[in-house]
Amino acid sequence: MSECSAGERLWLVVPAAGRGRRMGAELPKQYLMLGGRPVLAHTLARLHQAFPQAKLCLCLDPDDVHFDPVWVPFAEWRRTPGGAERADSVRQALSALAGEARDEDLVLVHDVARPCVTLAALARLAAALREDPVGALLATPVADTMKRDDGRQRIARTESRDGLWQAQTPQGFRYGLLRRALHEAAVGDVGVTDEASAVEALGLSPRLVPGRRDNIKITHPEDLALAGHILAAQQGEPLVASDNPQEET
Ligand code: C5P
């Protein structure tokens, strides 16, 4: 079993069972190529650089014919079947770990479509998670002015952006808590688009860890080129130095 520090065990869950319809591409977005390698390979490589001893659970569509295990750098990993929604994919991955994972083990869930997450951000999140009994996620304060529409593509009102954050991944929680949160969300038919929402529904408040705006989720066609530029620009950066503007000022 992977030991990340004295007695600590870390699991990585990477939901990669989406079909990426918003990309409008023939291939699911995790298999689109970035600099000669698919998005999925970039994302797994980043996670492996940060957490080489972790165990990986990769959620894949059972009908996926594009996946190649050569892209997985982890010594210990397994494939688990994706579900109808992202939360179902993660829930099924956690179920697959039952009996092996302990309630207090740390679980980091990271979208396969976010290949640009930096090692420094991953280290910062892991450090926050170790100290927090609830859990933590990377997020960035909202920078743009926020408009609420009226359903007819006209502005109903301007929302205050004070205190608003955009949630990213990874999101990290203790195994037992996250499993219970996602189970209760499914039973209660609470729609959740990230792990934090499920934990919030239990009345808990996960910690917001400042991330970087370049940890984009490839979603729309133009995002692929943007991710390519970000990865190229990051090549010149120190791998693990602080990259958090809020820490540096
Ligand atoms: O579609 P969206 O970009 O929100 O998906 C976020 C992540 O969840 C992606 O990594 C995608 O592959 C994954 N996903 C999944 N199972 C689903 C839907 C999405 O693993 N049913």
pLDDT digits (tens, 9 = 90+) for 111-141: 999 999 999 999 999 999 999 999 999 999 9
Residue 243's pLDDT band (cuts 50, 70, 90): low
- φ, ψ (nearest 5 deg) of residue 9: -120, 135
Tokens 């030991």: give the residue.
Answer: 3
For 87, the token pair is 């939360």
Whether the predicted pLDDT of 95 surpasses 70: yes
Nearest Cα to Cα of residue 135 among 197, 205, 83: 205
89 lines ligand 1 (CB under 6 A): yes
- CA gap 55, 72 in Å, rounded: 11
116 alpha carbon to ligand 1 midpoint, in Å?
16
pLDDT at site 22: 77
pLDDT digits (tens, 9 = 90+) for 162-180: 999 999 999 999 999 999 9
Of 86, 117, 169, best ligand 1 pocket probe by most atoms within 8 Å of the beta carbon:
86
Both tokens of residue 14?
């990477």
Indicate if the pLDDT at residue 242 is higher than 90.
no
* Phi/psi of residue 113, nearest 5 degrees: -85, 10
pLDDT in tens, 178-215: 999 999 999 999 999 999 999 999 999 999 999 999 99
Determine which residue's CA is closest to atom 19 belonging to ligand 1: 18
